[in-house]
Each structure stands twice: as C-alpha cells, then as structure tokens.
Structure 1
Amino acid sequence: MSQADETQTETVSEDGVIESVSGPVVTATDLDARMNDVVYVGDEGLMGEVIEIEGNLTTIQVYEETSGVGPGEPVENTGEPLSVDLGPGMLDSIYDGVQRPLDVLEDKMGTAFLDRGVDAPGIDLEKQWEFEPEVEEGDEVEPGDVVGTVPETVTIDHKVMVPPDYEGGEVTAIESGEFTVEETVVELSSGEEIQMHQEWPVRQARPAENKETPTEPLVTGQRVQDGLFPLAKGGTAAIPGPFGSGKTVTQQQLAKWSDADIVVYIGCGERGNEMTEVIEDFPELPDPQTGNPLMARTCLIANTSNMPVAARESCIYTGITIAEYYRDMGYDVALMADSTSRWAEAMREISSRLEEMPGEEGYPAYLAARLSEFYERAGRFELINGDEGTISVVGAVSPPGGDFSEPVTQNTLRIVKTFWALDADLAERRHFPSINWNESYSLYKDQLDPWWTSEIASDWAEVRQWAVDVLDEEDELQEIVQLVGKDALPEDQQLTLEVARYLREAWLQQNALHDVDTYCEPEKTYRMLTAIKTFNDEAFDALEAGVPVEEIQDVDAAPRLNRMGTSEDWEAFIDEIEADLEEQLRALY
C-alpha cells in the first residue's frame, strides 16, 4: 500500500510537525530522528530523508514536489535509512531515483506523470521465482555464500546469498520450488532465515574482503577507447564534454557493447527525450554476447531534469548499491552515470537552501569528498565469500560552456584513471566519437598491456605506441601547416600527415548508427591499425626509393582503408587491402 493510500485509512502518527518549507528542504520540530532516516512528510506522506539535526530542528530533503505542503502538517519517522530492495526482478526494470518502479507506478496511476505520495516496492513481492538450491542440509555457510540460484532473466542467473550482516551457520532446512522473495528458502542453525529479498542502505558500501589491482580491460567495442585509452574492469572513467559533443551516445554505446555481465545505467538529471531513447532502444537491442534482449542484463534508473532535484542527489547511490549487489554475486558490472554534473548541481541547490558555506562556484565544500566516495565504490574486489567481482564506473561530466577547469571536472579528474575528453570542434566536423586523442589519457595502459599482448597480439603495445607517435607528430605539424601550407613541408612530413589522416578517418572514427561499425572487436581494432601501419611502412619505403609523395598518395588501395570498419567480412577485406598496398606501392619503384 502506498503512503498516500495509508493516509486515507489512518491518521499519520505525528512524530513531528513541519515548521517551514523551502523547495525540497523542509524543517520540522519535535521529530525524534537520526541522520539519514527516511521520513514521510505532510498529509500526503511525501518521502524524504533527514540531512541535518540542530537542537529541536530537523532538516529534511524531500524526494517529491513540495508545493502545497505547509507548516503544521505532520512528519512521520520510519527510523530506517534510505535503502533499496535487492532481489530477483531488478534487471529489465526502470526505476526513479529512490527505486520506485516507474512501469509499475504508471500501471497503478494510469498515466506517465506520477502523483505525489505514491510508492511501490523496488521488486515484485508477489511474483514467484523458481529457486534451485546450491547447498544441502548440514552444510556450513558464511556471509556472502551463495545458497541457491534463480533464473532472473534469460541471460542472468540471480544468486541468492547469505546477507553480509548475518552470522551464518549450518543449513537446517532448504528446499527447491517456487517462492516469493519474502518467503524463507533457507533456515540456519543460528536461527537466521534467508529470503531472496535483501535491503541495504544506499549510502553505505557493501562489504568486501579486499580491493585488488585490475588486470583485465573492459572491452568496449569502440576503437578509440580500446585502442588508445582502455578502461579496466573495476576501473573508473570520466567523459567530460560540452553540449552536443556526444556524451550520452558514447555512454549508451558503452552500455550496449561493453563485455560487462550487468549494466546499470543512471540517467541523472538529463533531458527526458534522451532517457526516452534509452528506454525505447534497449528493450529492442540484441545483446552481442548472447543474442538475447539487452535489457535482460540491464537496470535503468531514470531521474530526468523535470523530476524532483532531491531524488537526483540520491539516484547515484541507488545505482551503485544495485551494482554492488550484483558484484557480490561474482559478476562484472558496468555502471554509467549520465551525468555527475547534474548530481553536483542537485547537491549545490540543497546546500544553498541549507545556507551552508559555499565552496568554489557555489558548490558545497564537500563536493570532492562526495565524488570520491562514489568513485571509490568501483573496483575489482575479492568478495567476503572468496569469489571475485568488479564494478567499472563511467561518469559523464557536463562542464558549462565546455570549460574543463570548473570544479566538477577538476575534482573528477583527481579521482578517475581514464579520461575521455570530448571535443566540440571534432563533433562539429562530424568526427564521432569526438574523443580528443591529444587531451585524453588512460592510466591503466601498463597494467592492461599483458592481457592485450597475450589475448590479442604480441606487438599490441608497440603498434599502439606507433599510432600515438604519428598522431602527436601530426598535431605539431598542423601548427606549421596553418602558417606556411601543407605543400611547403618536406615530403616525409607530408606523408606523415597522410598516414595520420587515415588513422583519424579510418580508425578513430566509428559510426554508432551503422549495423557493422557500431561494434568493433579487439581483433578487428588491431588488424585495422596494422593495415594502416602497412600503408605507412610501404609508403615510406617507396619515398626512400625516390617515388614522389603525390604518386604514393594516389595508389588505388589506400582510400579503401576507410571502408574497413563497415566491412562485414573484415578479415578477408583487410588481408586484401594489405596485399594490394604492398603490390601497388612496390610497383612504383
């Protein structure tokens, strides 16, 4: 029953009384509460959270629109912190910032616009799931141990675990069959009963035994990211960029094609039409790993720009807590937060209403600490049951006017180890993804190179470094070209510019809307790069033999390099190009 429904049948216990209302910030008196307790505010029972206690005054941030709420109305304290419902049914679901299922509420309300005070549990408490035990009576289990599995979707088996705050003990009763999430499936000698349903406070990280160094890449299927600026499984990345530079599309590409087991996508304060695109696209997209619908391994959290600002502040924590729960099952989870700037703006608005001392550009002084707390929950973890799981976090940043020196971008850069800088100039030239290769970096390269070398190609690091050197040289030469023109350069430098052009157009550009080019496996990323290097090596050999640079540039095979990404039979196509390049260029001398 929703809180609004309850107020119609019984009087809310007047634990406290509203004294003042300022937007989403409400002040109450005589409320017996602790920090971060969830409360229900006003006659309509609007959900809120205690954020400040001073004497008899308690300050609450309300997760819903507060118009019409006035002094004298009651405030009821639940005595519990803001928590999420964890259990089977979270995948293939769409939630708001405080884990209310939007599709369930839409059915309940009969409209996409939700009334205030409505509520619903995060997972279906009535649905029955097929529970298959993994342990037997007499087995000893500890916190974090898997006691059974449930086929949550066609792609993912949900692992039912001993909650981390349990003692554990000997299994005294367990049976297979169909159960709701609130029914007991395992009984322990300690008297504890295990259900498929857990709750966990969102602002508290779930426990793990150890945080380890990531050694395996999160394969994204995007050449510029896998090839030049890789992200580790368990790593952190930021995608800053001005309006229209492609942050959302880049994150959606990562959500669609990265080789994570589970994807948690948080639309945090973004435009509703962008989130609508995600909600409409994802259910129809096939998963490249399994062929099943992509939503079968995806959980969406939608808190668009027209939703209450306080819920935007909490949606990041809701998402990372859900990600930690699947990490505890041993899965590799990728979390996309779009965008952390809107989250920071929500913090700034609430902080200003609390009349806290502002920091740089009006953001609260604790902005850096909050960002750190969030990104620190990513990582490769040894779990409390001895298994291993990872959370990779990719946060989009929307700096006003594309100014990377603003506080959110700068504080994020101090924390994350991969930086994909989006460039408005590249976007205007229709170069997508518009990741600026001169400003971006990855600090995971060295620890990931052994994986690339053993799994993809023994000379992966050398070939990548060659590409980086060519692009760096092109950047220096472009300054000279703008002064004196390309024709004034020596022929070897003109040829370097030609090779760099193919690196940019054939390799770094990738068409997210093309059926073939939207995803590029690592082997193809490597082979495309070596094909351009073949052109480079053969072209410079011809130049040294006295062939004019114009003749080298005019060989028929070279322009076909631009079609490598869109070729379905790419292996044969690249083999053919390399053979033709060698034949045609050697024929010139």
Structure 2
Amino acid sequence: MSNTVYSINGPVVTVKETKDFSMMEMVYVGNKRLIGEVISITDAFTTIQVYEVTTGLQPGEPVYSTGSPMCATLGPGILSNIFDGIERPLKQLEQMSGAFIGKGCNVDALDDEKLWDVKITVKKGDALSGGQIYGTTQETPLIEHRFLVPPSLSGEVVDTAENGKYKLSDCIVKLKDKKGAIHELTLCQKWPIRIPRPVDNRLPIAMPLITGQRVIDTLFPIAKGGTAAVPGGFGTGKTMTQHQLAKWCDADLIVYIGCGERGNEMTQVLEEFSELIDPKSGKALTDRTVLIANTSNMPVAAREASIYTGITLAEYYRDMGYHVAIMADSTSRWAEALREISGRLEEMPAEEGFPAYLPSRLSEFYERAGFMETLSGNDGSVSIIGAVSPQGSDFSEPVTQNTKRFVRCFWALDKSLAYARHYPAINWTSSYSEYIDDLSKWYKENIDPTFLRKRQELSSILQEESKLMEIVKLIGSDVLPDDQKLVIETARVIRVGFLQQNAYHKDDTYVPLQKQLKMMEVILHLYNRSKEIVATGLPLSSILQTGLFEKVSKMKYDIPNDQPELFDEYMADIDKQLSEVH
C-alpha cells in the first residue's frame, strides 16, 4: 500500500498509519516530489516537515521514502557557490524556474559534468582509515581540496586511477575492507547534516582568530575554534560587523549563512562579496567563501535546516586541516522557524512561545565549534559567530539569554552607539570575552609580553569613566578634580581614536595587532605623562591646549599600517610638548 498525505498544516504534513518511515529520514512529498524530513513518529501518524512551499499540495498525494537521512553533498565545487538552506545551488535553480524558486526543483548540489584536475596521493597496497586523504585538486586559486575517506570506512588500496581530469562521480581509488568488500572512492561523499563529523581529538584553545577590528582583537578576542554572539537590535550593525569579520578574519575559509534575513540585505552580501579582493592573496574573496542564502520569504522549515547545512560544510573543510569561520546571520530567525513549526505541531510552548528544546538546539549548534585534531592527523578549527536579533534590543529575551549560556564571547551591540555613528557599535561595558586567559600565552609570545597588561589599563580607564559619567550626569563635570577630568578626556581618546573604526578607510578598515599595540602605548603614554603633570598641581586645561589629545585621536588615520616607526615620533612629540607645559 502506498503512503499518502493525510493532512497539511503549512510546512507540516502527516501520513496516517504507516511503519515505512524512520526518524529523521529524508522523504519526497506529493506529485511534485517536495523535499521533506520525518520529525515525529507515532503509532497513528508520521509527521514530516517540508523544506519547500506546500501551496497546492493535496491530501491523497503520494509520499516516497528514500531510506537515508537529510544529507549534504561534500566535494569540490562548494566554494564560490551560493546555496539555499538545503544545499541546492541558487544559480541552477534560477535557470530552471526564474527569480523565484519553483516547487519540486530537484537539482544536484554540485556540478557532476565539470572536470577536476585530480592528483592521487596513495598507491596500491596502502592502508587507509576513515578521514585520511587519498587525493587532491585545486578547487579555487586559494584552496586545495583534499579528498577524504568517509569516516566509517577503512581498508587496503587495491586499485588507483591515473592523475588526470575526472568528474565528481568517477571512481579514483578502490578500497578493500576487512570483510573483502570493495568500496569505490569518488570525488564526493554525503554526510547527514544533523550529525557532527567525527574527529580524533578536541584540542585546547590557544590561538586567537585575528579580525583586524581593535575592539575585538584587543578588548574582547575570540579564539580559533571559539564561539561568539553578536546581539543587537534593528539598525545596530550586526550584518555590517559580520561582513567586516568575513572580509578580514584570518580564517582559511568563510561560511556565511544568511538565515531568514531580508532579501535585499542578502543581495548586498552577494554583490559585495563578489567584488571583494582577499587582502592576503590579492585574489577574489569568493574563492574561499561559501554563501548559504535563506531569505525571510523562503520556506520556513528550510531556514531551520540552513544552519545545519552550513556547519556540515564547515566541518568538512575543517577535516581537511583548514580553519573555518561561520557567520550565522541570524540565529533569532532560526529560533523563530523552530517556534513556528513547534506551534504547528501543537507542542507545549515555553518562554515567549519558543519550544522547550530551544536551549538544547542552540547548544547542539554551538558545540560543533572547536579546535580539533582531525582523523587525518591535521589540525583544523570551526569558529562560530552568531548574530542575535532580540526584539526591541531586549537582551533578556530567551534566544539571547540561552545563546549567552553556550558562547564564551559576547559582543553586545548598542543602539545609542550606532545612532551616534560609532562603529563597530560594541558596548565595552556589557561585552565580555572568556578567552583572555586561554590566549594570554599566545599574546605574550607572538605580540608583546606587556600586551595584556596594557589592555587591562585601557579597560580600567573605560570602566572608571562610566562611573564618573554617572556623577557628571547629576552635577556636571566642572566639580570634578583634574585627575578625574583627565580620565574622562583619555577615555574619549580611547573611544574615538581606538575603539571606533572606519570600515571605508584604507588603513583603518583592518589594523594589524602590532599597530593596535603601538596605538595603546601612545594613548597610555599620554595619560601617564599627563597624570604626572596634574599631580604637581598644574591645571589640566594647560595640557589640553597643546592639542595632543586631538592629535592622538586621529593617529589611526595619520599613521599607515606599514609605517609603525611613526609611533615613536608621536611619543617623542608628547614628551616634548608636555615638558614645555611643565
């Protein structure tokens, strides 16, 4: 007896009285063969969430079993591509159905006609185990694609093809397992998106993910293999911050997931990324980027899947030994998709209507980050940076609060900073990073032993200023003694000259760590020398008249990234002018 649709409720479809399906199995629904996934099974009903629009679907239409879970196709051709939430290439979908995705468009995730120039790295008689590399091809000018033995497979190489050009489905290595069965290894493999790919070992976190953004690298660093949340209300610059990180962070690859974002915003991302030049290599940035676009008008269930598709692609490249950074924009829209499907399933709602399993789903996602020793013996990492869009900038809502439990880096975007054109609008009093201790050894050995101490001094001045501003709001700044006025003046230099960064300025859009250190040294030198003078009883106004504070605020523009020696001139100028005051 064939299985047929019994009821339809938006993306949720049920099939009555069947034992033919298993949990999390991928199925095809209806005459148009819409892609779906089994999410609940009872004696009476099997419930399926459909990843496409169900308009026009009718009860009585057939449902086909595939016998396998929802999988991502992994192989060369992923990079530079733009996929939807279930890894269908959008360019091919456009050719088939125009600007809007048609129903039942079944397209291969990767182009099976394209020939890849393959170099085989194993020979007959070699023993191979899961995760080891058996061949390579140059996927893009920046990234070498390494073919990996599927994790569950091991055995002896009994035959290999010659080096040359092959399609994705061509067999290039034959492997004989312990039972004597022969397995053909091609250029691609499939992996279930909801299951993390296995690794040999989770390594301790010890290296920062350098972004070139001063407020992040100096005050609130994220580690390679770390997790960060970027919460902020509408218009605070979440997407802009993630664009900057995608452009400049020192990961080998970027996976950008536009999850439920506005269509015009995703268009801007796609257009910007296609024009951008990778600063490290001079090649196109798209050569090391994967984009997953699931806009707010696309089917809601596919939004829920897009996060898992993205992280599976990231883990695949991590297993080759690359450092991958994921930008998820935004996990709030993903949580809203969970809430909508949960509502249609008539599950008991928890706080603000979100399902009770929201925290466990968030933790499943963020726990797939990490710095790993892969099955092939290489080191690789996945770092996750998730944007959160709390309604009305209310950080006490469930998605922000639960995300906070599972990430160790919190970059709180502030509406008032954004409206004052202070970008990135990361609030230095409510943000934090728990990676400082893990990274301290790296900073000491690779940048400067005093880096963290100076960072701490900078933070202390900013904390002191926020306390003083409470007094200033009540009774004005005139009543403060000069040493406290100096703290406020120095904090202004830190805010404007150090924390604020111009994404459109050639020297300020990305700042190397050595320059960040020099900038901190100049600001602290000015503060400490001024403090000595104020302590002798000279008025602060005589120091302010020198114009040094304004000059130091503008050094980020005046000193190019490749001329750090100019900072010594600034130091000498501060000493000279202050000695004249003294």
TM bracket (short chain): over 0.9
Identify the range of structure 1 (281-290 vs 367-376) with the bigger mean alpha-carbon deviation.
281-290
Shift of 1:171: 4.9
Amino acid at match of 1:284: E
| Alpha-carbon contact 1:162-1:168 (below 8 Å) kept | no
What does 1:36-115 correspond to in 2, within 5 Å? 36-109=24-97, 111-115=98-102
| Alpha-carbon contact 1:564-1:573 (below 8 Å) kept | no
Residue in structure 2 matched with residue 454 of structure 1 by the alignment: 445
Residue in structure 2 matched with residue 378 of structure 1 by the alignment: 369
Shift of 1:274: 1.1
Amino acid at match of 2:94: E
Question: Which residue, 232, 238, 242 being the options, matches 1:247?
Answer: 238
Are residues 1:24 and 2:19 paired? no
Residue ranges of structure 2 left out of the alignment (5+ in a row)? none
Question: Which residue, 569, 575, 582 being the options, matches 1:582?
Answer: 575
Question: What is the TM-score when the length of structure 1 is the normalising length?
Answer: 0.96
Are residues 1:220 and 2:211 paired? yes
Write the distance in 2 (CA, Å) between the matches of 1:81 and 1:135.
Answer: 31
* SS of equivalent to 1:381: strand
What does 1:234-383 correspond to in 2, within 5 Å? 234-383=225-374
Question: Which residue, 534, 539, 548 being the options, matches 1:543?
Answer: 534
Residue in structure 2 matched with residue 173 of structure 1 by the alignment: 160
Shift of 1:174: 3.8
| Alpha-carbon contact 2:17-2:43 (below 8 Å) kept | no
Deviation string, structure 1 residues 80-122 (Cα, Å, up to 9, x no partner): 111011000000000000000001211233x221111112111
Shift of 1:541: 2.0
Deviation string, structure 1 residues 453-486 (Cα, Å, up to 9, x no partner): 1111110010000001100100100001111111
Residue ranges of structure 1 left out of the alignment (5+ in a row)? 1-13
Shift of 1:163: 1.1
| Alpha-carbon contact 1:421-1:439 (below 8 Å) kept | yes
Question: Which residue, 524, 527, 532 being the options, matches 2:523?
Answer: 532
Shift of 1:346: 0.2
Residue in structure 2 matched with residue 463 of structure 1 by the alignment: 454
Shift of 1:357: 1.0
CA RMSD of aligned residues (A): 1.3
* SS of equivalent to 2:465: helix
Shift of 1:30: 4.7
Question: What is the TM-score when the length of structure 2 is the normalising length?
Answer: 0.97
Residue in structure 2 matched with residue 7 of structure 1 by the alignment: none
Write the distance in 2 (CA, Å) between the matches of 1:432 and 1:172.
Answer: 57
| Alpha-carbon contact 2:507-2:560 (below 8 Å) kept | no
Are residues 1:481 and 2:472 paired? yes
| Alpha-carbon contact 2:128-2:154 (below 8 Å) kept | no
Residue in structure 1 matched with residue 424 of structure 2 by the alignment: 433
Write the distance in 2 (CA, Å) between the matches of 1:386 and 1:410.
Answer: 37
Shift of 1:167: 2.0
Shift of 1:572: 4.1
Write the distance in 1 (CA, Å) between the matches of 2:498 and 2:555.
Answer: 8
Identify the range of structure 1 (540-549 vs 241-250) with the bigger mean alpha-carbon deviation.
540-549
Shift of 1:546: 3.1
Shift of 1:18: 0.8
Amino acid at match of 2:363: S
Shift of 1:194: 1.0
* SS of equivalent to 2:72: strand
Amino acid at match of 1:144: G
Residue in structure 1 matched with residue 545 of structure 2 by the alignment: 554
Identify the range of structure 1 (427-436 vs 163-172) with the bigger mean alpha-carbon deviation.
163-172
Amino acid at match of 2:426: I
Amino acid at match of 1:586: S
Identify the range of structure 1 (383-392 vs 319-328) with the bigger mean alpha-carbon deviation.
383-392
| Alpha-carbon contact 1:15-1:77 (below 8 Å) kept | no
* SS of equivalent to 1:40: strand
| Alpha-carbon contact 2:483-2:535 (below 8 Å) kept | no
Identify the range of structure 1 (380-389 vs 558-567) with the bigger mean alpha-carbon deviation.
558-567
* SS of equivalent to 2:406: coil
Deviation string, structure 1 residues 421-467 (Cα, Å, up to 9, x no partner): 11111111111111010011111001101111111111001000000
Residue in structure 1 matched with residue 124 of structure 2 by the alignment: 137
* SS of equivalent to 1:288: coil
Write the distance in 1 (CA, Å) between the matches of 2:119 and 2:480.
Answer: 71
* SS of equivalent to 1:565: helix
Question: Which residue, 106, 111, 131 being the options, matches 1:124?
Answer: 111
Question: Which residue, 151, 154, 166 being the options, matches 2:138?
Answer: 151
| Alpha-carbon contact 2:38-2:46 (below 8 Å) kept | yes
Residue in structure 1 matched with residue 385 of structure 2 by the alignment: 394
Write the distance in 2 (CA, Å) between the matches of 1:551 and 1:15.
Answer: 89
Residue in structure 1 matched with residue 196 of structure 2 by the alignment: 205
Residue in structure 2 matched with residue 567 of structure 1 by the alignment: 558
Amino acid at match of 2:87: Q
* SS of equivalent to 2:82: strand
Shift of 1:535: 0.9
| Alpha-carbon contact 2:320-2:376 (below 8 Å) kept | no
